[in-house]
């Protein structure tokens, strides 16, 4: 299993627009991706392709989240998804 810690860059965190953009990107990758707050146990990870899961995570600007994926190409997938979260999606 591959794991990547990411700092949320969007000013409003993972709410509304940023969550929708990220969930759409996750929905297009060939592996299952989960997300959790950095301090949470692995068992509390949520489906990263679900807008509702992302918004209920409560990740605010500057919070650290953990992305996890397993399978062929998972490391590259996490790298591309991390870049999305590391971008202020509210500024676009």
- Render pLDDT for 12-24 as a digit per residue (tens, 0 to 9): 999 989 999 999 9
Structural domain includes residue 91:
no
What residues contact 85, with CB distance under 8 A and at least 6 apart? 6, 7, 8, 9, 10, 14, 22, 65, 67
77 is a domain residue: yes
The pTM assigned to this predicted structure is 0.93
In a domain, 92, yes or no: no
What is the CATH classification number for the domain harbouring 64? 3.30.1340.10
Domain count of the fold of the chain: 1
Q: What is the pLDDT of residues 23-35, one digit of tens each?
A: 999 999 999 999 9
- Do the domain assignments include residue 8? yes
| Parent domain of 56 | 2-85
Q: Collapsing DSSP states into helix, strand and coil, what is residue 28?
A: coil
Question: Would residue 60 count as lying in a domain?
Answer: yes
């Amino acid at each position: 299993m591959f794991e990547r810690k990411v700092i949320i860059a969007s000013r409003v965190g993972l709410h509304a627009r940023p969550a929708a953009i990220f969930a759409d990107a996750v929905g297009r990758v060939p592996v299952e991706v989960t997300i959790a707050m950095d301090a949470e146990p692995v068992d509390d990870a949520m489906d990263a392709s679900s807008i509702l899961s992302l918004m209920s995570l409560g990740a605010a600007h500057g919070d650290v989240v953990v992305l996890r994926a397993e399978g062929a190409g998972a490391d590259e997938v996490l790298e591309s998804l991390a870049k999305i979260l590391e971008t202020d999606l509210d500024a676009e």
